[in-house]
Copies of this chain bind each other. A is one copy, B any other.
């Protein structure tokens, strides 16, 4: 796979996971589920926002980045194992960085290590 093809494929995988997740209906009718895709800077999210009666709800449920050809999982508030889902879709294990784990434990998980931000 050429480098450009690989990135395009990774972008597709991420957007597919987030779009699929965003289809789950919210428990009350007042919560909007937004997919936010910044394809220029490669930031991708699902955000829940709205109201639970008088209480403001604002929560980013999932967030992926692509940096230097690797997918960074920056946030995951679900119990889906996103790294495994990406591997199943065909993403190389070493191209997945679990950013939400501290750097010093990443190397023991078998996924990518990434670099210091």
Contact = CB atoms under 8 A, between A and B. Distances in A.
Nearest to A35: B41
Nearest to A104: B54
A38 interface: yes
A74 B103 CA distance: 32
B38 A37 contact: yes
A40 B37 contact: yes
Contact of A36 (B32, B41, B51, B56): B41
Nearest to A117: B32
A15 to B, nearest CB: 11
Contacts of A60: 47, 58, 60
Interface string A40-70: 1101010101110010101010010100000
A47 B99 CA distance: 15
A107 interface: no
Closest 8 CB pairs of A and B: A36-B43, A32-B117, A36-B38, A37-B38, A58-B75, A38-B38, A49-B74, A34-B43
